[in-house]
Amino acid sequence: MIVVAHRGASAYAPENTVAALRAARERGADMAEIDIRQTADGAFVVMHDSSLRRTTDVADVFPERRSFNVADFTLAEIRRLDAGAWFGPGFAGERVPTLNESLAVLREEGLGALVELKVHRRDRGMARRLAQELSTDPHWRAAGAEGRLILQSFDWVMLREIAAAAPALHTAALGKTYGRYGLRRIAQYARLINPHHLRVSAPYVRHAHAQGLAMFGWTANNDQAIRRLIRDGVDGIITDYPDRVHRTLLAA
Ligand code: G3P
Ligand code: CA
């Protein structure tokens, strides 16, 4: 069972920050999930929401701005923001990491990476640039071919483009429940189908496996949800509490 820390171990540290990635290792995760978005100048930064408002002090730093979309800010502007204080005073000073910085931390911590591409507006070169960024470092190039680096998205158009640009990279389709025909189509460009945990069932896991697709369920945070995913036979559990998954696995 692969234990994936959702947005890092986001129950214990501010989501999608270096602190959350370090907490993921401390809490026993095998991989960390991070969300990435493109800035106005084409950099990939780690941020879940399309707006910077919930998890940074952007409204204080840029009081003159009316909207706070990641896509409208440059990397240099985003680097000025505090991404930790909202979670607790002990995390003040955490920055919004870039994709590359996060991968460097995950490598240091010995963790795999489940990178979720969030798309505000599609742009032509994005898939190719991202595929290149994920395969420049030999460590992550090898990890991409071995399934220790996985690229996932709800945007299946981008997913297909990325799979075409980097055929060795493992990709995961985020989605709902699909029949055999749907799963067979997904298996043409993805290695995994990752549904919400309430959409997982034992037959669905079996159908996915029969099409050669692995399945990670998200985001299972309580013991009941974690137990159900284990019973249904998923390959991985995405959770804000990696330590809870270990506790449940030990008790099973
Ligand atoms: O890993 C899947 C999960 O992260 C998708 O939902 O909104 O937390 O990105 P969200
Ligand atoms: Ca995510």
Q: Whose CA is nearest to atom 1 of ligand 1?
A: 218
Q: Whose CA is nearest to atom 7 of ligand 1?
A: 48
C-alpha distance from residue 3 to each of 30, 155, 163 (Å): 5, 24, 24
The response to whether residue 133 sits with its C-beta less than 6 Å from ligand 1 reads no
Query: Per the structure, how many domains does the chain have?
Result: 1
CATH (domain of 104)? 3.20.20.190
Taking the model in full, what pTM does it have?
0.97
Q: pLDDT tens for residues 227-243?
A: 999 999 999 999 999 99
Distance 218 CA to ligand 1 centre (A): 7
48 in catalytic set: yes
CB 31 within 8 A of CB 112: yes
- Nearest ligand 1 atom to the CA of 48 is 9
What range does the domain containing 112 cover? 2-251
Q: pLDDT tens for residues 181-231?
A: 999 999 999 999 999 999 999 999 999 999 999 999 999 999 999 999 999
CB 241 within 8 A of CB 221: yes
137: tokens are 């470092």
Share of the chain above pLDDT 70, in %: 100
DSSP character for 134? Answer: H
